[in-house]
A and B are shown apart, each in its own frame.
Chain A
Amino acid sequence: MTEEDSSAKMSEDVEQYLKLNPPCSSSSSSSAVAFANKSGTFKSSSPPCPEHVLENVLENVLQFLTSRCDRNAVSLVCKSWYRVEAQTRFEVFIGNCYSLSPARLTHRFKGLRSIVLKGKPRFADFNLMPPNWGAQFAPWVAATAKAYPWLEKVHLKRMFVTDDDLALLAESFPGFKELTLVCCEGFGTSGIAVIANKCRQLKVLDLVESEVTDDEVDWISCFPEGKSHLESLSFDCVESPINFNALEGLVVRSPFLKKLRTNRFVSLEELHRLMVRAPQLTSLGTGSFSPDNAPQGEQLPDYAAAFLACKSIVCLSGFREFRPEYLLAISPVCANLTSLNFSYANISPHMLMPIIRNCHNIRVFWALDSIRDEGLQAVAATCKELRELRIFPFDPREDSEGPVSGVGLQAISEGCRKLESILYFCQRMTNEAVTAMSENCPQLTVFRLCIMGRHRPDHVTGKPMDDGFGAIVKNCKKLTRLAVSGLLTDEAFSYIGEYGKLIRTLSVAFAGNSDKALRYVLEGCPKLQKLEIRDSPFGDAGLRSGMHRYCNMRFVWLSSCVLSLGGCRDVAQALPNVVVEVFGSDGDDDDDTVTGDYVETLYLYRSLDGPRKDAPKFVTIL
């Protein structure tokens, strides 16, 4: 056989192997048998050990597989594939830090360079979980420090991270490049200072919506002298002043810096200076967008010119304390913008119009409801490429005025046909508007509507919002995430269960009439992974109806429903691979244990390593 023939033969064999669908049994003998049957086809003249050949081939092929779903599938084929996949996986995603122990991670994967870890469930953001519940980064940093000295990237969401953790991270990983902390807490500016100082290869330091205590440390000055590798620096959530001169110096020596998100302690004049130093920026968080002092008679900086010079800016955010008279300075970049975040700025329709009129390329737009239905109509008229819209309430109370409504929603649906993701806070809504969106925006994958007044019906017809949400699940066939609100009966949930075929995440609050609603969802929605429910009349029978699937879900959260301890215990006993936690929302009560029968909060999740050992006293693991 010629060389070409044998390599052609080899690739055929590889193809055959890769088409193997059903997983072999995990015993090595059967995989050896399967292999032996095929090994006869290897006819090359000097046959290397077939297993090694296979594994080498696999390694080379698997490097192209980056999707974790694909990799998970590959690892199930047989033990040999499992091994090779584990050796070649460099990025791991852990959606629930309690679903496995750090030891299990380091045992399976030997070559990780990047870790994404998520901790607390989302409802913790809204004060529904007592502090000190858990999700500590400490055991993870300790384990990975030993196992992966070449680790480069850590991305954490809703984890509790201490300054010591950050210090250990900085010391343990000499090649560390990217740190992203989203919705995290437990650390302060001293921890950030250590990262800045010790991680000499740092490219990304992104602090997003995290709580950072002000230790009064000048962390910006802790970046070492000399050229930095920084490409992204986001500290807009840091609520403490920074040393601007040090920041300016840092920007000057960071030629690769593309993304800079400053906090509200950076004034407009200072922003101007930064922009002049870094015209290559693509993403800019503008800080306060408000001048420092009253004009002192000298020439005012030409803000518009600075924006003009930053030709590459495609993403703008900040505007934390903006002054309307300066807003138009951003006009030169509007035509290039793909992302605009006004969600901290009390912008009226009048202020929005001249800006949005030029934003033809916007794909992501976040704003406050201060822009009103009129502003949304302006967005709909211009932003034909819009993919993601988020409208937050300026005044997040149940009985506040409500400047946006179904009118704005419908306008958006008619103008922005490519919309994929929407988060919309309002006081009143109609089934008609929601239905219109379901018909006009078939690409929707995320639909989150928050009617802030609880149990509010359609404000025109007085009927429940069942039909609107029903239309969404029926018409938006790509929908993967849904959050419902308003007056909803069990019928809405029957629609969701039946038509929500791709829904992975469902959020429910103050909705439904009975356990039937929960049953519809748990017996339908085949792809459901994350279920978070609060203040709804769902009890033990509803909970039981999901027993067949809790092992295949990331988590279920039920708070202020009507569950009893006995019902939760039944689930815990029936499903040994599921951890069932119950606790109250108030962690600092004196009583240690749950002895009453009423369960205020149930949080259950699958876990490979059983109940966690770090549960605080107010948590009972059934």
Chain B
Amino acid sequence: MEGYSRNGEISPKLLDLMIPQERRNWFHDEKNSVFKKEEKKLELKLGPPGEEDDDESMIRHMKKEPKDKSILSLAGKYFSPSSTKTTSHKRTAPGPVVGWPPVRSFRKNLASGSSSKLGNDSTTSNGVTLKNQKCDDAAKTTEPKRQGGMFVKINMYGVPIGRKVDLSAHNSYEQLSFTVDKLFRGLLAAQRDFPSSIEDEKPITGLLDGNGEYTLTYEDNEGDKMLVGDVPWQMFVSSVKRLRVIKTSEISSALTYGNGKQEKMRR
């Protein structure tokens, strides 16, 4: 019933979700240009970067529609927990969000690290005492984002707004998968055109084993697109640059398509 084909055509069902019925005609008319492989210069975009069909249709949609209506109609679904039909709908907190709570970096890490009550010193010499380094010292030297976290962008097929995930707050693929579910479950439900309620929020499962509707992939520091879960966790963390949640049915096309045509591939 999904209607997704292997070669990346858009299912009419997805179009229903994102573009109102009456606007879809222009999309079909410009089918050729949509499928034309354009250079990927779109940095900030609504759609998941790999699925360019959706991107361009989304972008065009935004440009043609009166802006307020188009964006806000999406926003209304995304952002209005208080105006959803079920008053008991409590938003479950998604994973860590950049810069929230608004506490400066040197005020973090009090719960861990060297604010212990025990003696915390190493040897003294020449009157210069060395104490234990706070954990954010190490983070400072390795990461350009000196505030300690290791944030990577994550986009999900069908959800216009990307998120960020702090990988340093995770220890395993399972944890990551859980966070992805928390981050996108509500957003995905909000994309549906009918009133959302808790029952419609299906958990996003099977991200790592190919059994779910969606699969988690990533782009590494060489621009290659890979399935998440194949290498040891630390190796993954050290090479991952971006995450993408794609439709499981699209795996083969997403991975080869991206790898082959990726303009930024440097080999």
Contact = CB atoms under 8 A, between A and B. Distances in A.
A585 B100 CA distance: 14
Contacts of B164: 585
B99 interface: yes
Contacts of B45: 596-598
Contact of A267 (B62, B100, B129, B153): B129
Interface string B108-126: 1011001111011100100
A527 B101 CA distance: 27
A562 interface: yes
A537 interface: yes
A265 B130 CA distance: 7
Contacts of B100: 126, 398, 452, 454, 509-510
Contact of A241 (B68, B129, B137): B129
Interface string B79-117: 111110000000101001111111111111011001111
A243 B81 contact: no
A557 to B, nearest CB: 12
Contacts of A585: 98, 164
A385 interface: no
A127 B128 contact: no
B79 A536 contact: yes
B149 interface: yes
Given A127-B147, A211-B146, A454-B93, A487 B82 contact: yes
B145 interface: yes
B101 A537 contact: no
Interface in A582-615: 584-586, 588-600
A126 B102 contact: yes
Interface stretch (A78-86, A317-325, A573-581): A317-325
B72 A539 contact: yes
Interface stretch (A61-69, A92-100, A286-294, A497-505): A286-294
Contacts of A396: 101, 103, 107-108
A128 interface: yes
A590 B107 CA distance: 32
B43 interface: yes
* Residue in A321, A346, A450, A584 whose Cβ sees the most chain B Cβ within 10 Å: A321
Nearest to B59: A597
A245 B126 CA distance: 9
A292 B128 contact: no
A303 interface: no
Contacts of B147: 126-127
B67 A394 contact: no
B259 to A, nearest CB: 16
A537 to B, nearest CB: 4
A346 B114 CA distance: 12
Nearest to A325: B117
B78 interface: yes
Contact of A540 (B59, B71, B146): B71
Interface string A244-265: 1100000000000000000011
A280 B102 CA distance: 37
A464 interface: yes
B145 A127 contact: yes
B127 A244 contact: yes
Contacts of A394: 110-111
Instruction: Give the dominant DSSP class at B's interface.
Output: loop
Contacts of A600: 44
A534 B102 CA distance: 11
A231 to B, nearest CB: 25
Interface residues of B, number: 67
Nearest to B77: A537
Contact of B99 (A128, A392, A489): A128
Contact of B68 (A127, A539, A591): A539
B36 interface: no
Max chain A C-beta neighbours (<10 A), residue from B110, B144, B153: B110
B75 A540 contact: no
Nearest to A512: B79
Nearest to B104: A125
Nearest to A466: B82
Contacts of B62: 564, 597-598
A566 B67 contact: yes
Residue among A183, A541, A584, A586 having the largest count of chain B Cβ atoms under 10 Å: A586
A461 to B, nearest CB: 12
B76 interface: yes
B42 interface: yes
Given A321-B115, A593-B41, A452 B128 contact: no
B61 to A, nearest CB: 9
Contact of B71 (A243, A293, A398, A564): A564
Contacts of B6: none
Interface string A362-395: 0000001000000000000000000000001111
Contact of A589 (B43, B106, B121): B43
A440 interface: no
B108 A566 contact: no
A239 B106 CA distance: 10
A453 interface: yes
Contacts of B151: 127, 586
Given A591-B41, A598-B46, A425 B71 contact: no
Interface in A15-46: none
Given A537-B80, A539-B71, A541-B68, A509 B44 contact: no
A536 B75 CA distance: 9
Contacts of B261: none
B185 to A, nearest CB: 15
B74 A562 contact: yes
A593 B43 contact: yes
Contacts of B146: 131, 211
A264 to B, nearest CB: 7
B134 interface: yes
B41 A595 contact: yes
Nearest to A599: B44
A320 B115 contact: yes
Most buried by B among A241, A343, A396: A396
A358 interface: no
A90 interface: no
A536 to B, nearest CB: 7
A453 B93 contact: yes
A241 B72 contact: no
B177 to A, nearest CB: 18
Contacts of A562: 71-72, 74-75, 79
A480 B117 CA distance: 40
B101 A450 contact: yes
B23 interface: no
Contacts of B116: 321
B202 interface: no
A589 B129 CA distance: 41
B31 interface: no
B76 A595 contact: no
Interface of B: 40-46, 55, 59, 62-63, 67-68, 71-72, 74-76, 78-83, 91, 93, 96-108, 110-111, 114-117, 119-121, 124, 127-131, 134, 137, 144-147, 149, 151, 153, 160-161, 164, 264
24 contacts: A125-B102, A126-B98, A126-B100, A127-B105, A128-B99, A244-B127, A291-B119, A321-B120, A343-B107, A344-B110, A346-B110, A397-B96, A398-B96, A398-B97, A514-B72, A537-B72, A540-B71, A562-B71, A562-B72, A591-B41, A591-B42, A592-B43, A597-B62, A597-B63
Give 10 nearest A-B pairs by CB, closest first: A126-B99, A596-B45, A537-B79, A591-B43, A537-B75, A596-B44, A562-B75, A396-B103, A395-B111, A541-B68
Given A127-B149, A241-B128, A514-B76, 7 more contacts: A126-B104, A344-B115, A396-B108, A509-B102, A537-B72, A586-B151, A589-B43
